[in-house]
């Protein structure tokens, strides 16, 4: 699935789910409003019937006006409650007679309950002159309405949650895909430079042998052949290393022997002190030993030291500290390099991952060293972790059981 197809598919899925959730919410709100409106019409219809039957005994609604008004809220209640029952609109109510000539003063009241939750009010004219009004306050059974709609509400909530989950998953997947794309681009760029260097040197030496009569000088011929052999050996080692850690499920060999840690650290750092002119201090008890695969452990330490020197701009200072902790040998490597931003730390040990530096790769590599180092640590039953702050250096912590 290419990136464009995945993006278009994601947009279709998100749009469909959004539309579905919007439709569900629309129908839920519409159903609720229809239930409220229907209940309100039934209550007011019952009230109008009770008013004309109880207060205007000599009137015919719409044809003959009432000549007398007999206001009795007890009679109203006797008629109103059966009307509510008939229309399936039983509710708690309060009736009040308002005299408009007395600044809307309540002159009569009859109530089932003075405290009415979720109140709604209806105003009904009693006489043709508009002197008296019946103010009916009744309870709107909102909880009952929502109870009847619980299936629709739950389904809508599930759809909204599903939409949120899908959106989060798609954003995470697209971000991961973009990261993989950057890693693949950086890997291709870096591995090309790494492979071109020994090839170019070998080609140059071969060209010198062929075009500058180097075969006539045994010393020069031998030196050029050594250069070619050295570069081809380096190229072969690079290819083997890439193949070894690129094949999924490949196992790291494990041939443990008893290793004196201080001796191994001195062996690994002696060349770096001379070649890189680095200040390396080792604080490790001389009696500290462990059982480990010497070849892989040496490569692990070399990788960590090489990375520390690569990412230190000038005057590199490295501190190696070894000690025992709960039947484990702990080795900490601290440098004074540029540090690593927090957002890159979770991915540092992933295969082919390198901290993005744009198109400028001042530090060569192909993102396999730390992946290999963690695999070696885990193969020994241990762990490799990192702590770093941007601009303040980095500390790698290696833990390996004493008995491997």
- pLDDT reading at 201 higher than 70: yes
- Each domain of the chain, given as residue ranges in start order, spans 3-148, 176-246, 256-401
Range with the lowest mean pLDDT among 146-150, 340-344, 356-360?
356-360
3-state DSSP call for residue 381?
coil
**Residue of 346, 384, 11 whose CA lies nearest to 176:** 346
> Do the domains 256-401 and 176-246 match in fold?
no
Where residue 249 falls among pLDDT bands split at 50, 70, 90? very low
Domain formed by 176-246, architecture: Orthogonal Bundle (1.10)
Query: How many CB atoms are closer than 10 A to CB 296?
Result: 21
- pLDDT reading at 45 higher than 80: yes
Residue 386's pLDDT is 92
Fold classification of 256-401 is: Heat Shock Protein 90 (3.30.565)
- pLDDT reading at 68 higher than 70: no
* pTM (whole model) above 0.85: no
Residue 38's pLDDT is 92
Query: How many CB atoms are closer than 10 A to CB 143?
Result: 10
Residue with tokens 């082919």: 352
Query: How many CB atoms are closer than 10 A to CB 243?
Result: 10
Residue 241: CA count within 13 A, CB half-sphere: 23
- pLDDT reading at 98 higher than 80: yes
Between strands 93-99 and 317-324, the pairing is unpaired
Asked if residue 81 lies in contact with residue 47, where contact means CB atoms within 8 angstroms, the answer is no
What are the Cα distances from residue 398, in Å, to 241, 284, 321, 380, 386?
22, 14, 10, 11, 9
| Percent helix, strand and coil across the chain, each to the nearest 5 | 55, 20, 25
What are the Cα distances from residue 390, in Å, to 43, 83, 92?
71, 78, 68
Residue 100's pLDDT is 83
- pLDDT reading at 398 higher than 90: yes
CA angle 187, 253, 192 (to 5 degrees): 15
**Residue of 196, 231, 200, 204 whose CA lies nearest to 361:** 196
């Amino acid at each position: 699935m290419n990136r464009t197809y995945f993006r278009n598919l994601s947009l279709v899925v998100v749009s469909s789910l959004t539309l579905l959730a919007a439709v569900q919410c629309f129908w839920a709100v519409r159903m609720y409003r229809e239930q409220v409106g229907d209940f309100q019409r039934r209550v007011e219809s019952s009230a109008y019937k009770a008013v004309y039957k109880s207060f205007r005994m000599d009137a015919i609604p719409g044809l003959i006006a009432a000549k007398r008004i007999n206001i009795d809220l007890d009679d109203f209640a006797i008629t109103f409650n059966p009307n509510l029952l008939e229309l399936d609109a039983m509710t708690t109510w309060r009736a009040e007679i308002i005299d408009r000539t007395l600044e809307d003063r309540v002159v009569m009241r009859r109530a089932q309950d003075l405290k009415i939750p979720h109140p709604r009010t209806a105003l009904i004219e009693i006489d043709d002159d508009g002197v008296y009004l019946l103010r009916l306050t009744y309870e709107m059974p909102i909880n009952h309405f929502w109870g009847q709609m619980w299936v629709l509400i739950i389904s809508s909530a599930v759809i909204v949650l599903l939409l949120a989950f899908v959106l989060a998953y798609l954003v995470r997947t697209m971000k991961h895909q973009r990261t993989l794309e950057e890693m693949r681009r950086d890997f291709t760029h870096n591995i090309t430079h790494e492979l071109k260097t020994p090839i170019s040197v070998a080609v140059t030496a071969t060209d010198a042998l062929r075009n500058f009569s180097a075969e006539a000088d045994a010393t020069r011929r031998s030196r050029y052949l050594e250069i070619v052999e050295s570069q081809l050996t380096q190229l072969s080692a690079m290819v083997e290393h890439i193949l070894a850690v690129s094949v999924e499920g490949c196992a790291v060999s494990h041939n443990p022997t008893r290793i004196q840690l201080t001796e191994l650290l001195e062996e690994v750092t002696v060349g770096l002190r001379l070649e890189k002119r680095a200040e390396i201090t080792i604080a490790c008890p001389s009696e500290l030993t462990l059982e480990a695969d010497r070849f892989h452990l040496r490569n692990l330490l070399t990788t960590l030291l090489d990375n520390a020197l690569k990412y230190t701009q000038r005057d590199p200072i490295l501190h190696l500290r070894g000690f025992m902790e709960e039947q484990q040998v702990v080795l900490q490597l601290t440098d004074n390099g540029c540090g690593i931003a927090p957002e890159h730390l979770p991915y540092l040990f992933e295969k082919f991952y390198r901290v993005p530096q744009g198109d400028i790769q001042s530090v060569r590599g192909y993102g396999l060293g730390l992946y290999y180092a963690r695999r070696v640590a885990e193969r020994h039953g241990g762990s490799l972790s990192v702590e770093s702050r941007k601009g303040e250096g980095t500390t790698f912590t290696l833990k390996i059981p004493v008995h491997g």
